[in-house]
């Protein structure tokens, strides 16, 4: 999976908790779309969360503040 294929504006992060800050390891991408507008399926979301956990954690930290 290439992050360049994902529309970053469609990413929805869940599992965000201030208690988990600053690591945010409990956060995960629950929804995202490819730039073509097609939503990622469950398998693709799992792959995204595994490959781009640093992106997910950074987005979670940004949502806390």
**Selection from 12, 6, 1 nearest residue 35 by Cα:** 6
Find tokens 């504006």 and name the residue: 9
What does the domain layout of the chain look like in residue ranges? 3-64
**pTM: predicted TM-score of the whole model, two decimal places:** 0.83
User: Which residue positions in the chain have pLDDT lower than 70?
Assistant: 20, 23-24
Return the pLDDT at 24: 67
What end-to-end distance do the CA atoms of the chain give, in Å? 29
């Amino acid at each position: 999976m290439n992050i360049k294929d994902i529309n970053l504006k469609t990413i929805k992060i869940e599992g965000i908790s201030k208690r988990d800050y600053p690591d945010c390891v409990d956060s995960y991408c629950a929804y995202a779309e490819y730039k073509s507008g097609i939503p990622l399926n469950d398998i693709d979301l799992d792959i995204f969360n595994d490959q781009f956990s640093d992106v997910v954690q950074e987005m979670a930290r940004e949502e806390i503040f």
